[in-house]
Structure 1
């Protein structure tokens, strides 16, 4: 099996698995219990919190654990908006956000809040100038993702944050795809809230975290909640948090080398497909404004679903977009944001690379795609 769907979910690393088992065996007590075992579990929880805070140069009290990226986005946005809303609030997001972010803003619209959706250019980036023109006197919140899960395009967070901070607008960013892959230092980055997920960085599913700056106000979504400083109800998943933290440490330590290696795999993939470059449309940008891990593309004359099923027959796993939208017949969020025609949108498929992929796997995948094209065009491969 060749797994090339890491933007959807990563396999747990041995380090993360080991941390999970150890925590489940030795730190099984409720972190809110007052006995010795409970205190022991609480100490591990706070150690994990401090470790994650260190990665992004935050304070431990600014890190709150969740059940994953979707809940991180929803709780962060709900908590911030609830505490800072006005009678005529205006909020801003982009047309290319994750479905969890869009669901929050769509709900606000149904409740009468004015929402502005920023468009994207041909590469998938928002315009900072358009953002400036969209801000109003009553704008209270903006949410712009760091890295798009379908194309890997990187938004200019520092520029965006600087504009929003000057205008007094609270800035949240979905960093699920960028966490530990790109440097994120909140002491230098003008952001107020960030969302993370464990299963995108070789940690377990059902784990995530939110960074909430101590400089902003937020309200508990669920009254009487005591866990995670009132941010999220329910007993914390300590084994999952320990595994998430272990995976984050490991991933962060190999951030620079991992980026270089993934870039090599990406370049190898396109070199192998060079004979058919004229048939490809690769979404995003060819410069540093794109995370190399994610390759969103289409092949003229071939539906993405056909490529996916063909590769699947050979044990190669890819996707046709965000796993959170699987089963839907509508074009993906990013394809709509890019104003792709229905035909162009149907061509789209995504290959997302991981640090455990080998060059041989990339070459094999390219060979199958070439075979697929030769076969369909009645040519002999070789």
Structure 2
């Protein structure tokens, strides 16, 4: 089967698998233990923290390990909100976020926090002007994704960071879809925190990390926890962490080559599908290089996904973490699409092993969906 759903998850790479096995065999000690086996594991974890931090130009001491991207988002948002609530309880986000962001914010709403969503431009970018208009004296946190998993549009983090910093507000971004794939500098973007996940970059599932800048105030959501400076309880999965850092290193090393390859694939596919029938959703240029969000006139995205699946091609009808496909994606409604148009969303996402033959097969399959034109009498 041709796999073109790499924004949902990716297969583990050979280097990541080897790192996992070697670590599980040789560094099985609990990194909290005081004996030598514990110290070996602890030193390896510290090395992995430094490796991951280097990808985002952050500090190793700001890396905290989690069970994945959703856990990173929820843990970061709650920790920052609780750590800064003495200054206020107002948070700003967008309609473009991952479900885990809304889950954290819904919990905070039950605790007296207020949440506003900034407007979105028709091209899928958050309006920085709208975001700034929502800022109040009691605003303590802004959380905006680096790129939406549904639209693939890259957000203007540096512009947002400049505004947020001017007002002394914490700034978190969900970088699960972008980490190691496109450049990100936490200092240039004035980011307080960033979420990342291993299984989006050919690492293991159930492994992720959250970066919180060492100078930022945060409060643990777990009482009396000693692990990871109190950030999260539980013995660290050293093997998973090593595989994560290895996957990040290799993805980051290939970043420029993969960017060029994926951009070419994007352009080729857009040129070879029926443009009278297929519509690109979101900005054509300010988007992830490996991601295409499309709709076909007259078809629901889930139908297109199932049609491709019958032809041996795996694509997506939206975020794999959505509770239901019955509701149209709010990100697309915020961009001005109708509910019917939003239901047409399907997503194609390339990986490191995607080939030209894969794209040829996909273009042929999508073009099969174009209604036949009856000849005039």
TM-score (norm 1): 0.95
Distance in 1 between the 2:323 and 2:358 partners? 25
Q: CA deviation at 1:201?
A: 0.5
Shift of 1:160: 0.1
Whether 1:283 aligns to 2:281 is yes
Hey, what does 2:78 align to over in structure 1?
Answer: 78
CA offset at residue 173 of structure 1? 0.6
CA contact (8 A) 1:97 1:333 kept: no
Partner of 1:130: 130
Change (3 A) 1:99 1:67: same
Equivalence for 1:198: 198
Is 1:150–1:294's contact at 8 Å kept on the other side of the alignment?
no
- Residue 81 of structure 1 and its aligned partner are, at CA, apart by 0.7
Q: What does 1:108-123 align with in structure 2 at a 5 Å threshold?
A: 108-123=108-123
| Among 286, 304, 308, the residue aligned to 1:307 | 304
Is 1:2 aligned with 2:5? no
The alignment status of 1:225 with 2:222, answered yes or no, reads no
CA RMSD of aligned residues (A): 1.5
Contact in 2 for aligned 1:132/1:163 (Cα 8 Å): yes
Please tell me whether the aligned partners of residues 81 and 89 of structure 2 are also in contact (alpha carbons under 8 angstroms): no
Gaps of at least 5 residues in structure 2 are none
Q: How does 1:36-115 map to 2 (within 5 A)?
A: 36-86=36-86, 88-115=88-115
Farther-moved stretch of structure 1 (66-75 vs 105-114): 105-114
Partner residue of 1:377 out of 338, 354, 372: 372
Check whether the contact 1:268–1:359 (CA below 8 A) recurs between aligned residues.
no
Distance change >3 Å, CA 334–CA 197, structure 1 → 2: same
Matched-pair contact (CA < 8 Å) for 2:87–2:138: no
Indicate conservation of the 8 Å contact 1:322/1:332, yes or no: no
Map of 2:329 onto structure 1: 332
Offset of residue 377 of structure 1: 2.7
* Matched positions, count: 375
Alpha-carbon distance, 1:87 to partner: 7.3
Alpha-carbon distance change, 184 to 87 in structure 1, aligned in 2, over 3 angstroms: closer
Indicate conservation of the 8 Å contact 1:86/1:138, yes or no.
no
How far 1:222 sits from its partner (Å)?
0.4
Counterpart residue number, 2:316: 319
Asked whether the 8 Å contact 2:300–2:345 carries over to 1, the reply is yes
Matching of residues 152-301 of structure 1 within 5 Å: 152-273=152-273, 276-287=274-285, 289-301=286-298
Query: Shift of the alpha carbon at 1:379?
Result: 7.5
> Equivalents in 2 of 1:37, 1:90: separation in Å?
46
Distance 2:356 2:189 in 1: 35
Q: Which residue of 1 aligns with 2:343?
A: 346
What CA distance in whole angstroms lies between the structure 1 residues aligned with 2:374 and 2:15?
A: 47
| Contact 2:78-2:108 within 8 A present in 1 as well | no
Q: Give me the whole-angstrom Cα distance separating, in 2, the residues matched to 1:342 and 1:11.
A: 33
For residues 35 and 180 of structure 1, what CA distance do their matches in structure 2 show? Answer: 34
For structure 1, the 5+ residue unaligned runs are: none
Query: Cα offset for 1:232?
Result: 0.7
Structure 2 residue aligned with 1:31: 31
- Note if contact 2:83-2:217 (Cα within 8 Å) is conserved in structure 1: yes
Is the 2:97–2:145 contact (alpha carbons within 8 Å) kept by the matching residues of 1? yes
Deviations 1:224-271 (A, max 9, x none): 111111111111111110000000000000001100000111111112
Q: Shift of the alpha carbon at 1:320?
A: 0.5
Deviations 1:164-217 (A, max 9, x none): 000011100111111011111223321110000000011010111111011111
1:358 has 2:342 as partner: no
Structure with more of its chain in helix, by fraction = 1
SS at match of 1:196: strand
Check the 8 A contact 1:27/1:41 in 2, yes or no: yes
Q: Which secondary structure does the structure 2 equivalent of 1:278 belong to?
A: coil
The alpha-carbon distance between structure 1 residues 198 and 347, as it changes in their structure 2 partners (threshold 3 A), is same
